[in-house]
Structure 1
Amino acid sequence: MDDFLHSQIRKINLQTKEVTTLVKSPSYLPQYITHDPYPNTHSLYIAAKHDVRRIDLLTGETIQLTGDAGGAKRDGLGTAAQLTDIVSMFVTTPKNIMVVTRSADSKNGYIRLISRIDPRNPSPTPLPTPTMSTPPISTPISDSPSATPISASPISSSPISASPITSSPISAS
């Protein structure tokens, strides 16, 4: 659990009710925690307002994966990647973390990908260029026999990148 007010990450043993401090830093304000659900990874990921860190639960080692206290929006490797106002975070595959951020005006947000988080080499490295081979398809746009077909070309090889998204406020009715 995160203890935001005391800048700590704590572990609670539910059987013994013992509380252990995993990480303590006077300058770190943890806000979001997610664990790596994949076998043999033993990692916990923690996001503060502008950065993401990984804790190896076997050794206790903490490694900063992205960002710093500056809080800008910039792609890059490791701590050169800058994040603004993290609002959510989750592990998507054994080596990828998705981070949702919002802009200063709170009207726009971004989904950012932290990729290739290898427990033996915690520095993120770029994903290889995806290579997929998909045959062209031609499908009618409706069930009508006179419908105009739409065509799709094979997926091309290009680097993966995150694009800005716009979000709208959620309201309860």
Structure 2
Amino acid sequence: MALPILRRDHRPGRNAARSGSAPATRPGRSPWAEFTELHDQMGRLLEEAFGPIGAGGVFGSGWLPAADVEETGDAYVVEVELPGVQREDVSVEFGGGELAVTGEVKERERVGFLRKRTRPVGRFDFRVALPAEVQEEQVTASLTDGVLTVRVPKAEHARQRRIPISS
């Protein structure tokens, strides 16, 4: 997709109305870059005021924790970062090919005035679809050092196996 080009008439007297004001954009900078910067600044302002947008606070059902999903030869391993979360505040469910990790990071009581917040609090919700060829009854989960590790073993017929090559 082609982007619009900012054209300016460089003939004398043509941009007289703008001569006393600041240019619309900085020299060598796209006007779209300024829109993107404004969008980012507004997003940060709203997040500071109301919490994470689209993933928590007033605008969503919960924030989305950082996670890795790794496929090994015999299982899917999901690691979800949940610093400060207690085991009793996390729920892990697997059904219909979907792994759901939900819970809550509880607000701790503060003594002073909170000047800035970058760590999310409140409900969180992480979901990932995995292939149906897994052993649902053997799913395990452990929470160590703020990382929840969920191991979802593959069904025997879905596991990778090495095929010997004959001559």
Structure of higher CA gyration radius: 2
- Both structures adopt the same fold (TM-score exceeding 0.5): no
The TM-score, its normalising length taken from structure 1, stands at 0.23
Q: Going by fraction, where is strand more abundant, 1 or 2?
A: 1
Question: Which of the pair has the greater relative contact order for Cα pairs under 8 Å at 6+ separation?
Answer: 2
The TM-score, its normalising length taken from structure 2, stands at 0.24
